[in-house]
Amino acid sequence: MKKVYLDNASTTAIRPEVIQEMTKVLIEDYGNPSSTHSLGRTAKNILELSRKSIAKNLNATAQEIIFTSCGTEANNWILRSAVKDLKVKRIITSKIEHHAVLYTALALEKEYGIQVDYVAIKSNGQIDITDLVELLSQEKKTLVSLMHVNNEIGTVLDLERISRICQEHSALFHSDTVQSVGKTTIDLQKLSVDFIVASAHKFHGPKGAGFAFIRKNSGLQPLFFGGEQEKGLRAGTEALHQIAGMAKALELSYSNLETERNHIFELRNYLITQLELEFPAFEINGSVDGFYTVLNVLLPFSADKTAMILFHLDMKGIEVSRGSACQSGSIKPSHVLAEMLSIEDLKKPSLRISFSHFNTKEDIDVLIAALKTI
């Protein structure tokens, strides 16, 4: 049975060139980057070239890129050190962030007694900027943490505008850019964002590798203590093959951005057209002009179809998600959709369909045909 993988916001298939790069490093370059002998120096060289390449793709300096094990770790580190070391007394975030941010903010509220405020969300899933400005008028050392592209509904935050607002109010700004790095241009010289994070497995790199952009002189302190890796900011022997794979994946994502984006954009439009044709009463959760890699739809099926729809599609070899991956299989509704939909609509089946350049029109046809049999 041919598999139709339409769950690319959960994770992506590794590019063959990335596997090649990682295999080479695993076989030939197994030295520890902290060793002073020749194998170690080669490893160190690969590490720093990877850092340089990632920094170049985002227009940052190499010293501002710190490797981590994943996006979750990078988010946890930044929020925790902002409170512990930068003396942030309040975090402004939103109820539709990824749990890596939401649960960290809640833990910090408990541990440090900081204030956590949530910006209002409009019915289309956009942040209410007027509310953000109002919240920022309180005098308190603040970190704003708002994601760039929402992983469930694909709403896009205007990074430039929000970073300007934060700067005007002397607030630090962290953005979870896990869904957007490698999929849209991010120019860190132009933006005044203080911290962003990324995860390699979201842009056709390996799982277990990510990075944080930490703007120069931020004063952030480490989460882990041990060796002097990453200038003392992230102790632990670097996963060199993962990091080299991540750098290769990002380089390929940006060098192919234009063509791959156009291809995915067309697929998303084709899916919308097919849904309009076959299920005219369907609705888009979020908005039609959301990010090109994600489409979250509320299907005009009765609520009793909700529990079996993913299972039914899975039996036909079609992989999509309900809400976010962490919640598939659980009966809890998505915390993001819960902020936007009525109780009645929440009970009905919503699907998150997320694309990559590996998808084809045929994949969409297979999905539509399967939905017609439900």
At 361 the three-state DSSP class reads helix
Q: Which helix (H) or strand (E) is 350 found in, with range? A: strand 350-354
Q: Which of residues 151-190 bind ligand PLP (CB under 6 A)?
A: 151, 176, 178-179
57 versus 151: smaller Cβ distance to ligand PLP: 151
Shortest Å distance, C-beta 188 to ligand PLP = 18
User: CA 212 to CA 75: how far, in whole Å?
Assistant: 8
| Sheet of strand 65-68: strand arrangement | 65-68, 210-214, 195-199, 172-176, 142-145, 90-93, 115-118
Q: Which residue has 């309040």 as its token pair?
A: 90
46 versus 178: smaller Cβ distance to ligand PLP: 178
84 versus 207: smaller Cβ distance to ligand PLP: 207
Shortest Å distance, C-beta 237 to ligand PLP = 19
CA atoms within 13 A on the CB side of 330: 9
Bridge partners of 118, per DSSP, are 93
Shortest Å distance, C-beta 186 to ligand PLP = 14
Bridge partners of 199, per DSSP, are 210
| Residue among 315, 321, 368, 318 at smallest CA distance from 349 | 321
- Two tokens, residue 143: 């970190």
199 versus 285: smaller Cβ distance to ligand PLP: 199
Please say whether the beta carbons of 213 and 58 come within 8 A: yes
Shortest Å distance, C-beta 189 to ligand PLP = 23
220 versus 336: smaller Cβ distance to ligand PLP: 336
Please say whether the beta carbons of 198 and 175 come within 8 A: no
Of positions 55, 147, 353, 370, contacts ligand PLP by CB under 6 A: 147
Shortest Å distance, C-beta 101 to ligand PLP = 7
Please say whether the beta carbons of 184 and 157 come within 8 A: no
Shortest Å distance, C-beta 239 to ligand PLP = 13
**326 a catalytic residue:** yes
CB atoms within 10 A of CB 158: 13
Contact map string, positions 99 to 138, toward ligand PLP, x by CB under 6 A: -x--------------------------------------
Q: Does 334 bind ligand PLP (CB under 6 A)?
A: no
Of positions 12, 93, 199, 356, contacts ligand PLP by CB under 6 A: 199
- Two tokens, residue 263: 């291809």
199 versus 229: smaller Cβ distance to ligand PLP: 199
User: CA 324 to CA 333: how far, in whole Å?
Assistant: 10
At position 107, the amino acid (one-letter code) is A
R_g over Cα of the chain: 21
Shortest Å distance, C-beta 356 to ligand PLP = 14
For ligand PLP (CB under 6 A), the number of binding residues is 12
103 versus 282: smaller Cβ distance to ligand PLP: 103
Q: Which of residues 46-105 bind ligand PLP (CB under 6 A)?
A: 70-72, 98, 100
- Classify the phi-psi angles of 370: left when phi > 0, otherwise alpha if psi is within -120 to 50, otherwise beta: alpha
Determine the straight-line distance between the first and last CA of the chain, rounded to whole angstroms. 19
Q: Which of 326, 338, 346, 368 is catalytic?
A: 326
Of positions 33, 125, 210, 349, contacts ligand PLP by CB under 6 A: 210
Residues with active-site annotation: 326
* Binding site residues, ligand PLP, CB under 6 A: 70-72, 98, 100, 147, 151, 176, 178-179, 199, 210
